[in-house]
Amino acid sequence: MPSAPSSRPTKDHSKAIAELKAQFGDRLSTNLATRQQHAHTMTWLESQPADAVLVARDKQEVAQAVAICNTHNMPVIAFGIGSSLEGQLNAPYGGLCIDMSEMNEILQVNSEDLTVTVQPGVTREQLNHYLRDTGLFFPIDPGANATIGGMVATRASGTNAVRYGTMKDVVLALEVVTAEGKVIKTGSRAKKSAAGYDLTRLMIGSEGTLGVVTEITLKLFGITECIGSGICHFPTVEAACEATMMTIQMCLPIARIELLDTLQVKACNQYSNLTLKEMPTLFVEFHGSTAGVQEQAQIFNDIVEECGGSDFAWDSDEEARKKLWHARHNAYPASRALRPEAQALSTDACVPISRLAECVSETAKDIKEAGMIGPIVGHVGDGNFHVLLLVDTDNPDEVQTAEDLVGRLAKRAIDMDGTCTGEHGIGQGKRKYMAYEHGDAVGMMQAIKHALDPNNILNPGKIWP
Amino acid sequence: MPSAPSSRPTKDHSKAIAELKAQFGDRLSTNLATRQQHAHTMTWLESQPADAVLVARDKQEVAQAVAICNTHNMPVIAFGIGSSLEGQLNAPYGGLCIDMSEMNEILQVNSEDLTVTVQPGVTREQLNHYLRDTGLFFPIDPGANATIGGMVATRASGTNAVRYGTMKDVVLALEVVTAEGKVIKTGSRAKKSAAGYDLTRLMIGSEGTLGVVTEITLKLFGITECIGSGICHFPTVEAACEATMMTIQMCLPIARIELLDTLQVKACNQYSNLTLKEMPTLFVEFHGSTAGVQEQAQIFNDIVEECGGSDFAWDSDEEARKKLWHARHNAYPASRALRPEAQALSTDACVPISRLAECVSETAKDIKEAGMIGPIVGHVGDGNFHVLLLVDTDNPDEVQTAEDLVGRLAKRAIDMDGTCTGEHGIGQGKRKYMAYEHGDAVGMMQAIKHALDPNNILNPGKIWP
C-alpha cells in the first residue's frame, strides 16, 4: 500500500495513556478492535490505529484530554463518523483518538435568525431530520452522512454547493479546543463581522491540525416553495460541460448540477436497475417559487438544446425527485460494483469552469490510456469533479498506475489555475501536491501551524509531513 | 482627541529611509504635505503621518520596500484611497506608507468564469465602469469609492451584502507580500478548494497587519434582467426591523434593504431637497428576472402591510432607481449638514437579526439621553447598522460622551451575540473591545500575528495595541 507513512511510530505514549486513564478510567479504550474501528475510513490508504480511543462527552473532557496529550507530546485525532477519504483519521505517529459521536446534541435552533448551534458529532442527516418541521434545512451534502465536525475539518461541500456554498460559507462561528487545551470561540451569531482575524475560516478545512472543534454555529436556509429536478443527456462530456458553463454564466440560481459520464451512467443502470440513456448526463435541481422554478427550467431547457443535449425532463413531484437522485446518490456503490473485488480510490479536483471540459476530457483519456476503470461524476457547477479508480491494491503495478493518474490529475488541475482537491482535503494522500499548488504560501501555512500547535500534537502527519 | 495612541514614536527610522532612498530615489517622499495627505482618512481619530511615502509601481517594488523595512524594523502601512474609518492608515509608530493608487490595473477579466484579477489600487467604481459592457458587475458597495485592496483589508461589505455577501465571500485568491518581502499566492481561480489553510480569508479583514495585498482575484456577478427599487415607511424603527426580519426569514433574495431612522430621513430631506415622509424608512432593491422581481416585490408588499408599514412603492425604471438611491447615498453628507461645524464619528455594529430592533432602539434611546445628534442608517438585512455621531471635538466632555456611547453600543452588540463592528474594522478606534468580544481567541490571533510578522512591522498599532 502506498502514500501513507508506513513506519509505525516508535514513540512511547504510556505516560500520557496512564494519565488519561487516571482521568477517564475505563472510558479510555486501548482495545485493538476499538482502535482499528476508529482508523477505518473510506480511504484506500493503509489503516493506522491510534494508541487509545476516548468517546468524549463534553467540551471540558475534550479540553482535559488535549491538555494531557499536549503535556506529553501525544498526538490527538478527532473522529466523527469515519467518512473522510484521504487518511485524515489515521494515526501515523500513534496518539489519542477522540471520538465525537456522543457529542451529538443540537443545542439551539434560532429560526428567526436562520441559525443553529450543534455539537460536532451531529450528522447532517440527523440535523435535517431534526429541522423537518421548521421549514428550514442545512444544505451542505457531501454524499456520506458525515458529522458536522468532520465537515468543518475538511471544508466539505457537495451537490448543493453551487447554490448554497461550502462549509466556509455556512459556518458562522466555532468553539475550538486549542492545542494547550483552552476553549475559545471564533465568532458570534452576527451574519458578518470586521473585528479581527477570521479564525472561523482558518479552522475550517484545517483537518484537525489547528484545533479540535467542539461546537458549530451554522446558517440555515428556507426550504423553497418548489423544488424541480431534471435530467438530460449530451453527446459528449464537453457538451455537458458547455451547458453547465452557460448555466453558471447566466447566473441561473441552480441548486444542483451534477455530471455523470457514460461509464458512471452504465454503472448506475446496472446497480439500480435503471434504463438511463448511456451517455454523458446532467442531473439538475432548481429551488424557488413555483413560477421561479418553471422559469429556471425553461431557461435551462434552452441551454440544453443550444448545447446539443436532449431529452430534458423535469418534475417538481417529490417522489419523482427522490427516484431521480437515488441513482446519483448510489453512484459510489454502483461504481464499486463495476469491479467488486477492487478497492475504490476516490479522488477529486476543481478547476475554473472554463477549463472544466478540457480537464475532464483529458482525465478520461488518461484513465483510458492507463487501462484503468474510473467513472467520473462531478459537482460541475463548481468546476469540481471526482474520479473513482477501481484498483487491485494487491497489485503494486496497478497501485502505481493509479497513483500516477492521481498525480497527473492534481498537476493538470493546478496548471489550469485550479486545485488538487475541491472537497476531499489533503489528509495523507495529497500532501505531496501542497508545494506544487501553494509554492511559498506553504511556509506561511506552516508558520501558523507551528504557532498554534508548537508540539505538533494536533493530527500530525495530515496536510503536513 | 481620544483613542489613538497620542505619543509620537521616538524610534529613528533614518537608516531604513536612507536605504529606501537609495532604492527608490526621489520617488520616496518625506515631504510633510505628502505624508499628511496619506494619513488623512475619514476617521475622527488624530492624524499620525508616516515618515515617508512611496507610490509603488508593481509588486516587486512593494516586496523590496517591505524587505528593507523588515530589516530595519520600520513599520509599513499600505494606503489605498484613504476612506477607512477607524484610523487604519495612521502611523502611530512612524514608518513607510506604501501608496497603492498607481497599482490600479485591471489585469484579467474571465467572463466565462465570472472572475476578474485586479491590482489593489483599483477602485470599485473604476472596476464597475470597466465592466460596463460585459453584463457583469462587482457587487460590494461600502459607500465610499474605496480601493479593492482597502476593501480586502477591512473585510468591507455594504448595501448589497445581504444578497452578494461581503469581501470574504467574493474574493477567490490574493497575492500577498509577506513581512519578510516574499510574494505568495493564497489561492487559485477554482471556485472552491480543500487544499490546506484558508490564507485568503485570514488576510481579508486583517487590516494590513499580516501582509500587503498586491493582487486580488474576485468573483463577478451577472447583472440581472430586471432591477426594482422601492421605498416604504413604518410607524417605528421596531416595525421596520420586524419587516426586515420577516423578509430574511422568508429567504426572499432581496439585494438591498436599508433602514433610515426618522432623523436620517429629515437630514436627507433637508440636504437633497426631498419630501420623504419623516418616519423610519426602508429602501429596498430586488434583482432578478422581470417576473421574479415582480414576485419579490409582491411578497415584500405583503410583509410591509403585515408590519404596519405604508406607501410601499417600487419601480424598475433606472432613472427612478437612481433618484431613490441618491438620497441613501447622500446619507453621510446629509447627516453632517445637521451640524456642519461638528466632526462626524461614524461607528457600526452588527447583531443577529432577531436582536436588531432591540439593539437599534436601545441605541437610539441612549443617543437621545446623552443629548447627542446621531442619525442611524443600516444594512439591516445583515443586522448591521451605523450611527453617525456629530461631535464637537474641541469639547472634551462631548468627545467623552461620544466615546462612552460607542463603547456602550459595542458592548450591547457583543452581549446580543453580535460584534462591535460589522464592516468598519478595528483599526485604532476599536482595539479596546477586542478582548471583550473575543476572549481567549485574542491569544490565538496574536500568536498568528507574531508568527507571520515577528518584527511587528505590518501596520503596527492597528487591531492590536
Nearest to A295 among B178, B187, B289 (CB): B289
CA distances (Å), origin B192, targets A248, A407, B170, B197: 15, 19, 12, 12
Read off the DSSP letter of residue B104: -
Read off the DSSP letter of residue A1: -
Q: What is the pLDDT of residue B394?
A: 92
Q: What is the pLDDT of residue A6?
A: 40
Q: What is the pLDDT of residue A10?
A: 55
In angstroms, the separation between the Cα of residue B214 and the nearest Cα of chain A is: 14
Q: What is the pLDDT of residue B6?
A: 40
Do the chains contact at B155 and A196, CB–CB below 8 Å? no
Alpha carbons A444 and A286: distance in angstroms, whole number:
41
Rg of chain B on CA atoms, in Å: 22
Do the chains contact at A418 and B190, CB–CB below 8 Å? yes
Q: What is the pLDDT of residue A44?
A: 82
Chain B residues touching A442 at Cβ < 8 A: 196
Nearest to B448 among A245, A354, A451 (CB): A451
pLDDT range class, residue A4, cuts 50, 70, 90: very low
Do the chains contact at A191 and B382, CB–CB below 8 Å? yes
Chain A residues touching B449 at Cβ < 8 A: 197
Alpha carbons A417 and B227: distance in angstroms, whole number:
34
In total, chain B counts a number of residues equal to 465
Nearest to B195 among A192, A198, A434 (CB): A434
Number of Cβ within a 10 Å radius of residue B61: 19
What digits encode the pLDDT tens for the residues B151-187? 999 999 999 999 999 999 999 999 999 999 999 999 9
Strands A343-350 and A384-391: antiparallel
- C-beta of residue B345 within 8 angstroms of C-beta of residue B388: yes
DSSP-derived 3-state class of residue A389: strand
With respect to CATH, is domain B13-101 assigned 3.50.50.60?
no
Chain B residues touching A217 at Cβ < 8 A: none
Nearest to A439 among B184, B210, B433 (CB): B184
Q: Which of B207, B350, B423, B444 to mutate to test the interface with A (most CBs of A within 10 A)?
A: B444
> Residues of B91-129 as b/e, b for ≥16 C-beta within 10 angstroms?
bbbbbbbbbbbebbebeebbeebbbbbbbbbbbbebbbe
Q: What is the pLDDT of residue B5?
A: 42
More confident residue, B29 or A324: B29
pLDDT above 90 for A329: no
Q: What is the pLDDT of residue B1?
A: 36
Chain B residues touching A195 at Cβ < 8 A: 419-421, 425-426, 430, 433-434, 437-438
Residue B185, CA atoms < 13 Å, CB-side half-sphere:
17
B226-415 adopts what CATH topology? Answer: Vanillyl-alcohol Oxidase; Chain A, domain 3 (3.40.462)
Mean pLDDT over each residue of chain A, to the nearest integer? 95
- C-beta of residue A405 within 8 angstroms of C-beta of residue A366: yes
Q: What is the pLDDT of residue B457?
A: 98
Nearest to B423 among A192, A250, A442 (CB): A192
Return the number of CB contacts < 8 Å for A and B.
285
Q: Which residue of A has its CA nearest to B191?
A: A382
A13-101 and A106-222: same fold?
no
Alpha carbons A193 and A201: distance in angstroms, whole number:
13
Alpha carbons B54 and B390: distance in angstroms, whole number:
34
Nearest to B115 by CA among A383, A358, A363: A383
Number of Cβ within a 10 Å radius of residue A463: 28
Q: Quote the strand ranges of A52-153, DSSP E.
A: 52-55, 76-79, 96-99, 106-110, 115-118, 136-137
- C-beta of residue A271 within 8 angstroms of C-beta of residue A337: yes
In angstroms, the separation between the Cα of residue B270 and the nearest Cα of chain A is: 32
Chain B residues touching A249 at Cβ < 8 A: 111-112, 114, 222
Q: Which of A88, A167, A184, A444 to mutate to test the interface with B (most CBs of B within 10 A)?
A: A444
pLDDT above 80 for A207: yes
pLDDT above 80 for A424: yes
Domain coordinates of chain B in residue numbers?
13-101, 106-222, 226-415
Alpha carbons A147 and A137: distance in angstroms, whole number:
15
Do the chains contact at A447 and B452, CB–CB below 8 Å? yes
Do the chains contact at B222 and A251, CB–CB below 8 Å? yes
pLDDT range class, residue A323, cuts 50, 70, 90: confident
Do the chains contact at A353 and B206, CB–CB below 8 Å? no
pLDDT tens over chain B, length 465 residues: 334 444 444 578 999 999 999 999 999 999 999 999 998 777 788 899 999 999 999 999 999 999 999 999 999 999 999 999 999 999 999 999 999 999 999 999 999 999 999 999 999 999 999 999 999 999 999 999 999 999 999 999 999 999 999 999 999 999 999 999 999 999 999 999 999 999 999 999 999 999 999 999 999 999 999 999 999 999 999 999 999 999 998 889 999 999 999 999 999 999 999 999 999 999 999 999 999 999 999 999 999 999 999 999 999 999 988 888 888 889 999 999 999 999 999 999 999 999 999 999 999 999 999 999 999 999 999 999 999 999 999 999 999 999 999 999 999 999 999 999 999 999 999 999 999 999 999 999 999 999 999 999 999 999 999
Q: Which of A167, A192, A446 to mutate to test the interface with B (most CBs of B within 10 A)?
A: A192
pLDDT above 80 for A218: yes
pLDDT range class, residue A3, cuts 50, 70, 90: very low
Q: What is the pLDDT of residue B320?
A: 87
Do the chains contact at A191 and B350, CB–CB below 8 Å? yes
In angstroms, the separation between the Cα of residue A31 and the nearest Cα of chain B is: 33
With respect to CATH, is domain B106-222 assigned 3.50.50.60?
no
Do the chains contact at B245 and A112, CB–CB below 8 Å? yes
Nearest to B463 among A111, A196, A425 (CB): A196
Q: Which residue of A has its CA nearest to B384?
A: A192
Nearest to B194 among A155, A184, A449 (CB): A155
Chain A residues touching B248 at Cβ < 8 A: 114
Nearest to B77 by CA among B427, B432, B447: B427
Chain B residues touching A112 at Cβ < 8 A: 245, 249, 352-354
The model carries a pTM of 0.96
Alpha carbons A455 and A71: distance in angstroms, whole number:
9
Residue B219, exposed/middle/buried by CB under 10 A (0-12, 13-18, 19+)? buried
